[in-house]
Amino acid sequence: MWLLLLLWAPASAWGQAAVAPLEPAETLDLSQPLAMEKPEGWDYLKPVGNLLALNLIYWAGSRYVLNNDYSYIGPQSIINNFEQGFVWDSDEFGVNQFGHPYQGAGYQTGARAVGFGFWGAIPYTVLGSLQWEFFMENTPPSYNDLVTTSVGGVVLGEVLFRLSSAFLDPSSRGFERVAREGGSLVISPIYGIARLVSGDAARLGEMEGTQPVSIKFGVGFNDFNSSDLSGGVLNLGLDVGIIYGDFVDDGRPFAPFDWFAMRGGVNYRPSDFQAADFDLSGLLARWGFGCGSGNDCVWGPAMHYDYHQTPAFEVGTSSAGILALGRFDLGVGGLKLYAGLDLEVIALGGFDSPYVESATGRAYNLGSGGFGRAALVLDRPGWFQLRGYSSRYYVRTVKGVTSHDWAGITGAKLEVPIHWGLGVSVGLVLYDRLGVSEDYPRVESWNVAQELRLYWKL
Per residue in 195-236, pLDDT (tens digit) is: 888 888 888 887 777 778 889 999 999 888 876 655 677 889
Are 257 and 159 within 8 A, CB to CB?
A: yes
Count of domains forming the chain: 2
Per residue in 257-290, pLDDT (tens digit) is: 999 999 999 888 777 767 788 999 999 999 999 8
| Residues 219 and 286 reside in one and the same domain | yes
**pLDDT at res. 36:** 59
**pLDDT at res. 12:** 27
Asked whether residue 255 is domain-assigned, the answer is: yes
Global pTM reads 0.89
Asked whether residue 51 is domain-assigned, the answer is: yes
Average pLDDT over residues 86-99: 90
Asked whether residue 93 is domain-assigned, the answer is: yes
Residue 272 CB burial class (10 angstroms; 0-12, 13-18, ≥19): exposed
Asked whether residue 35 is domain-assigned, the answer is: no
| Residues 242 and 319 reside in one and the same domain | yes
The CATH code of the domain that includes 253 is 2.40.160
| Residues 345 and 433 reside in one and the same domain | yes
Asked whether residue 139 is domain-assigned, the answer is: yes
Predicted confidence (pLDDT) at residue 321 exceeds the cutoff of 90: yes
| Residues 231 and 188 reside in one and the same domain | no
What is the Cα–Cα distance from 399 to 110, expressed in whole angstroms?
Answer: 32
| Residues 194 and 220 reside in one and the same domain | no
Residues 6+ apart with CB under 8 A from 224: 232, 233, 234, 235, 267, 274, 275, 311, 447, 448, 449
Asked whether residue 425 is domain-assigned, the answer is: yes
Report the 10 Å Cβ neighbour count for 31: 21
* Buried-exposed string 367-388: b where 16+ CB fall within 10 A, e elsewhere: bbbbbebbbbbbbbbeebbebe
What is the Cα–Cα distance from 61 to 8, expressed in whole angstroms?
Answer: 36
**pLDDT at res. 223:** 85
Average pLDDT over residues 294-311: 93
| Residues 182 and 244 reside in one and the same domain | no
| Residues 69 and 181 reside in one and the same domain | yes
Domain boundary among the residues 198, 223, 253 is at: 198
| Residues 53 and 97 reside in one and the same domain | yes
Predicted confidence (pLDDT) at residue 35 exceeds the cutoff of 70: no
| Residues 258 and 342 reside in one and the same domain | yes
| Residues 230 and 345 reside in one and the same domain | yes
Asked whether residue 28 is domain-assigned, the answer is: no
| Residues 268 and 312 reside in one and the same domain | yes
Asked whether residue 18 is domain-assigned, the answer is: no
Task: State which residues form the domain around 444.
Answer: 215-457
Domain boundary among the residues 172, 198, 224 is at: 198
What is the Cα–Cα distance from 26 to 280, expressed in whole angstroms?
Answer: 22
What is the Cα–Cα distance from 148 to 96, expressed in whole angstroms?
Answer: 7
Per residue in 232-257, pLDDT (tens digit) is: 778 898 999 999 998 988 888 899 99
Which range (20-24, 314-318, 364-368, 442-446) has the least confidence?
A: 20-24
| Residues 295 and 433 reside in one and the same domain | yes
| C-alpha neighbours within 13 Å on the C-beta side of residue 367 | 24
